[in-house]
Structure 1
């Protein structure tokens, strides 16, 4: 993306800041979505991807940006400069993103990107536009264990002024359990892609596996994309996408988004990136309550999540 386009995008964000508000959630086919998304749902559902498009799908705060950066680096043979050409959100736009004018929507941004495109979404499986399946697009799904995902999402909702006010921690847990947050139920989300993974040729990854052995998972992504890069390039990608390096990379850490939208003084977009941080938030009573509900909601689905590594 040209420097001129980056500048115009930054200017659009600045101009839109005057109308920033915590947008309410509106159900779309039973899934709560921010009103800006719900009000533009028909155009999102009608999106027709190219067969070469790659979709990266996650529940929010499950390793989305990390995976976007890995894929972009793989497609550019590990070239660090290529991946600093523009912020992550411009290099691989969010399909369903809508914002107050004049900020361009995800659909607008996708029209100006050369094929093959990397497309991000937080939509649950049943809300993914059918064109992705009809055109047999490759899809990478990343899932993160429920407790860490809840903690990360809570802090994100605190600093993201687009999202509804999260309220106190003790009240946020039951909202997560009931699926009353943006993009709906974590349980339905991770199960939806899991049960369809073989039929739809979805590469299903786990955040905990990526943390435990990032090189192994980068190689899995490479093979899925039918790419072949050298061991040296793989090592460089692993290093460039470490949490420390991404947190310091202004093209990946979302510090380009102004304070009226993302208030990094409340919580940084990239906060800890750890497995097991939930232990610093859940009381023993909360953990017991959550575990009992988890067993009920995940009964009969053999999803191998790990809350510690």
Structure 2
């Protein structure tokens, strides 16, 4: 788990920039969806279609606070292990990434980043919070492998609430107000339910695989085996176990200041399953149960969430 200096500098500068914004300046709207203005720019969204995907790209797509930072690092660990790079090769690859100074999400940063991304060595690991209809068409045309990460909506909501109240790029909110905004899709990256519903339409594509936060937490070794097989990584049991241990949530949280600067303390909180029980009222439980039933029950991704196990008292 190696720190990217330019990445940490970018995150630290972003935190400083956030603190200078008035509450009404913190969010921007693009095509009816809210985004944090300090990370996302209208001109970057407009230039997004210029991104050229490669057939060997790995695209990780997940709604905010579903575990994308954790799984991104796991993927980098698996890719490095499978690549069998020498120390010299690892240093060279890291130097290229550091020099290009790429923001951590496809939709973050300046529009020129898509030109810089062309210089990244394969296999590129590209992370986004966007639903499929907002992604560049080249991702689907290239037949790049797409890993869709999902998490149960109750824990996602609670994690997002705590994150937004710690992260100065979002306006602060009370729990009840945030619950209402989340249920109405009036949060960064829009509706959780729309996001999962849209990805469900693609889930039978042979180049797309879904995995849940909960299964990665409960049996990381098995989860990593599934991912490695999907991505064509030839790894033995010992190598997979090494990645599982070195990139556990606990390990990443301990090293978060080194890898993510001051942002690390905001990004990695509990990483637990079932934390929603600490905040949900009975009426909120019932409202979420109804919404899940209306939007996701009966879908393949809805079944993978295992709502009856993870979202019932």
Residue 34 of structure 1 deviates from its aligned partner by 3.2
Q: Which residue in 1 is equivalent to 2:28?
A: 26
* Structure 1 gap ranges (5+): none
Deviations 1:37-58 (A, max 9, x none): 3342111232111222111000
The change in CA–CA distance for 1:236 and 1:299 in structure 2 (over 3 A counts) is closer
Match for residue 124 of structure 1 among 86, 108, 131:
131
Asked if the contact 2:197/2:295 (under 8 Å) is kept, the reply is no
1:175 is aligned to 2:190: no
Q: Which residue in 2 is equivalent to 1:154?
A: 161
Secondary structure in 2 matching 1:76: helix
Structure 1's consecutive aligned runs of 4 or more residues displaced over 6 angstroms after TM superposition are 78-81, 86-92
Q: Which has the higher helix share?
A: 2
Q: 2:234 & 2:63 partners in 1: Cα distance?
A: 29
1:225 is aligned to 2:228: no
Indicate the RMSD between aligned Cα atoms, in angstroms.
3.3
Secondary structure in 2 matching 1:77: helix
Deviates more, 1:114-123 or 1:283-292: 283-292
Q: 1:51 & 1:214 partners in 2: Cα distance?
A: 27
Deviations 1:198-253 (A, max 9, x none): 23621111111111211111001101111111111111111112221111123786
Residue correspondence of structure 1 range 138-217 to structure 2 within 5 A: 138-163=145-170, 165-199=171-205, 201-217=207-223
Give the total of aligned pairs.
293
Q: 1:153 & 1:193 partners in 2: Cα distance?
A: 20
Deviations 1:120-161 (A, max 9, x none): 000111101101001111100100000000011111111222
The change in CA–CA distance for 1:94 and 1:18 in structure 2 (over 3 A counts) is closer
Match for residue 285 of structure 2 among 283, 287, 293:
287
Match for residue 277 of structure 1 among 275, 278, 284:
275
TM-score normalised per structure 2 = 0.81
Deviations 1:101-127 (A, max 9, x none): xxx975466344212210000011110
Secondary structure in 2 matching 1:180: coil
Secondary structure in 2 matching 1:40: helix
Asked if the contact 1:93/1:110 (under 8 Å) is kept, the reply is no
Asked if the contact 1:93/1:106 (under 8 Å) is kept, the reply is no
Asked if the contact 1:92/1:119 (under 8 Å) is kept, the reply is no
